[in-house]
Amino acid sequence: MNPLLLAYACSGSLEKLIHLLTTAQSPPPAAQLLGGVTTEGDTVLHAVAKHGDGQNFLKCANYICGMARNLLFAPNNRGDTPLHYAVRAGNSKMVSCLIGLANSGEGCSSTVTNLLRMVNDRNETALHDAVRTGNKHMVELLLNIDPALARFPEEGSSPLYLAILLEKNIIVQTLYDKGRYNLSYAGANGQNALHAAVLRGPGHWWKPSLVCSQVLNANPYALFQSDHEGLYPIHVAASVGAKCNIVNFLEKCPSSAFLCDAKGRTFLHVAVVKRQAEIVRYACRNQSLKQILNMQDSDGNTALHLAVQSGNIVIFCALLGNRQVKLSVTNGKGQTPLDTSTYKITQGLYCVQSSEENIHFALTTVGARSGAIRQDHFHELELDDEGKEIEKVKDTTQTLAIASVLIATVTFGASFALPGGYRADDHNNGGTPTLAGRYTFDAFMIANALAFISSAIATIGLMRSGSPLFKPQSRKFYLGIVFHFMETSVTCLFAAFALGVYMVLAPVAHKTAITICVLCPIAVLCNKAECWLKWALLSWTLFLRMGLINGLISAAIRNAGILFTEFWPLLFIFGWPAYAKDHQLYNHQNHH
């Protein structure tokens, strides 16, 4: 394009534009100049439409179209017409001008319609650009001229879909008001506006998205259209946790609960895979959805199979707590949920209180059965590479060694820097602790000694587990011992701290001493906070599944063993001094 022509068009210089076109020497002068384009394929009319909305620009557009009306419909390299540019720039007067120019001449009605419905390389009309910029006035202007424009293009993303996807709620309402009966709901990749509404407007937990409700009310059949991945709107809602929208869908169309995606999964399957616990709880509590609880996908997996595979104990407990969920359904591999849980238990180093262990225990407790497959296959599972296992041992050993040695050092020092100090050498039993013989002092010494002994055992275990002289199995065995005694030493250390503070403060600040003693157990409890939550959730689930008595017995047996393993040091710390003191008093009386 002639650079002067482009400059005059971009600045709206009508007189200079006319002078250039009428005084050019190359025949035919106007046609040659007006036929030029920029590197992007823009014509002179593109430049005018893009850069201004004033009277000079409007006159330039009229003059150019008077000389070359075909430029009104000329696309650039991206398929954009001058109308696309004018709408994108928000030049409403220019838009009216271009439409008015298309409206002049023969067949003006169809010409205007063709101009408005022209699409660019993104398969979008000028209305899409108005939606994208969020220009309500521009949307109204275009729809007033062509009320059916919201139906175009016939294939691809509709203006409504785009408005919802971009969360232009005002534009969505405008499209409804202006083109309610001429709306297209089509979207990209086989989706429709309801898919977009679910993705972009989950809403609050107490009410569904307004946009989603509008789309559903206007076109309930959109709920039964899947995208190219086979996902229906209810599946999309489940994947993003839009419970309110799912409730709305099921109220409008209860049969939508049975819709399956390309993998044969219901919305419940999707919610389990996407770890949307609230959706799963809703499905388990809703009696009208009981028929989908045991539906199987293309691989034969029920929602319980998938919950076990994901290892999410919250979702697993929600399903297990519903007695209508079947426990021994086999999938395409012949595996029941119990079989799947066996596979999920890590064969190498792992935490014995992991979710997978708890899930396996729960299934075994409630009477889940294995499938009719060879059980010896479970022992043929591919183990982690031995080198990786050794790396785990090394990394864990290095981490624990610092804490173990630190606790041993602290407790060793505390054994000789006792609360209350020592008796003077010129007194009876000189050099002995002044508080010796008190219950709290004896308990403090027991706690401190246990902490030191446990950390020392852990340190020795770490030396062995970190040594390449031992076989891998032996190293993992010693590491297991280390974990137990490290936890024991931590518990004893906090007990010793609380008892030592109580001995020092109780005579002068009893309430403060009690407060500190109450606060100290928080650290021990937080050390196992996740485990406590899992046990509580699992215990409640067993109550629901097995009944109060059976559930209580099962939970008590498991939890009693775990509690004793965790807190046996406290029983010894506080029990032994009491027993020793009474026994000492009894012997003293017999002696006299």
Does residue 477 lie within any of the structural domains? yes
DSSP 126-168: HHHHHHHHT-HHHHHHHHHH-GGGGG-SSSS--HHHHHHHTT-
Q: What is the pTM of this model?
A: 0.76
pLDDT at residue 567, as a whole number:
80
pLDDT at residue 385, as a whole number:
53
Does residue 567 lie within any of the structural domains? yes
- Distance of alpha carbon 333 from its chain centroid, rounded? 29
Does residue 377 lie within any of the structural domains? no
**Residue 31 Cα distances to 46, 102, 174, 208, 450, angstroms:** 16, 20, 42, 58, 100
Q: What share of the chain is helix, strand, coil (3-state, %, to 5)?
A: 70, 0, 30
| d(C-alpha 224, C-alpha 231), whole Å | 10
Whether the CA torsion 5, 7, 13, 16 is positive or negative: it is: negative
- Distance of alpha carbon 424 from its chain centroid, rounded? 65
408-416 contact pairs (CB < 8 A, 24+): 408/452, 408/455, 408/456, 408/459, 410/493, 411/448, 411/449, 411/451, 411/452, 411/455, 411/489, 411/493, 411/496, 412/452, 414/448, 414/496, 414/500, 415/445, 415/448, 415/449, 415/452
Whether the CA torsion 138, 140, 141, 146 is positive or negative: it is: positive
Does residue 292 lie within any of the structural domains? no
* Helix ranges (DSSP H) in 415-471: 439-465
Average pLDDT across each block of 10 residues of the chain; the chain has 592 residues. List them in order.
Answer: 91 91 68 88 95 94 92 95 96 95 72 94 95 95 93 91 90 86 87 87 54 84 91 94 92 93 96 96 94 95 96 94 94 91 67 77 89 58 54 71 83 79 71 79 91 90 79 78 86 90 87 88 75 82 86 77 80 86 55 44
Does residue 71 lie within any of the structural domains? yes
Tell me which H or E stretch contains 178: helix 169-179
Q: Which domain holds residue 533?
A: 389-591
**Token output for 208:** 């569904």
* Helix ranges (DSSP H) in 301-354: 303-310, 313-320, 337-344
Name 433's bridge partners: 422
Q: What one-letter code names the amino acid at 36?
A: G
Number of helices (H), then strands (E), belonging to the chain: the values are 28, 0
Give the CATH number for residue 92.
1.25.40.20
| d(C-alpha 266, C-alpha 238), whole Å | 9
CB 541 within 8 A of CB 363: no
Looking at 59, 94, 121, the residue that finishes a domain is 121
349-352 contact pairs (CB < 8 A, 24+): 349/389, 349/392, 349/393, 349/396, 349/476, 349/479
Peptide bond preceding 153: is omega within 30 degrees of 0, i.e. cis? yes
141 Cβ contact list (under 8 Å, min separation 6): 92, 95, 96
| d(C-alpha 412, C-alpha 556), whole Å | 37
Among residues 115, 121, 113, 32, which one has the least CA distance to residue 74?
115
Count of Cβ atoms closer than 10 Å to residue 482 Cβ: 25
| d(C-alpha 332, C-alpha 284), whole Å | 24
pLDDT at residue 377, as a whole number:
54
Whether the CA torsion 223, 227, 233, 238 is positive or negative: it is: positive
CB-based burial label for 271 (10 Å; 0-12, 13-18, 19+) = buried
Among residues 346, 368, 349, which one has the least CA distance to residue 302?
368
CB 490 within 8 A of CB 432: no
DSSP 38-51: -TT---HHHHHHHH
Query: Could you give the number of structural domains in the chain?
Result: 2
Does residue 268 lie within any of the structural domains? no
CB 82 within 8 A of CB 71: yes
| Structure-token match 């009693």, residue found | 560
Q: What one-letter code names the amino acid at 151?
A: R
| d(C-alpha 329, C-alpha 316), whole Å | 15
| d(C-alpha 190, C-alpha 225), whole Å | 8
Does residue 579 lie within any of the structural domains? yes
**Token output for 565:** 């393993």
**Token output for 141:** 């202007």
pLDDT at residue 405, as a whole number:
84
CB 308 within 8 A of CB 334: no
Phi first, then psi: what are they for 186, rounded to 5°? -70, 150
CB 527 within 8 A of CB 493: no
| d(C-alpha 177, C-alpha 140), whole Å | 9
Looking at 105, 121, 137, the residue that finishes a domain is 121
CB-based burial label for 38 (10 Å; 0-12, 13-18, 19+) = middle
Phi first, then psi: what are they for 104, rounded to 5°? -100, 140
| d(C-alpha 392, C-alpha 383), whole Å | 14
Does residue 88 lie within any of the structural domains? yes
Looking at 121, 137, 166, the residue that finishes a domain is 121
SS (H, E, C) 114-129: HHHCCCCCCCCCHHHH
Round to the nearest angstrom and report the end-to-end CA distance of the chain.
123
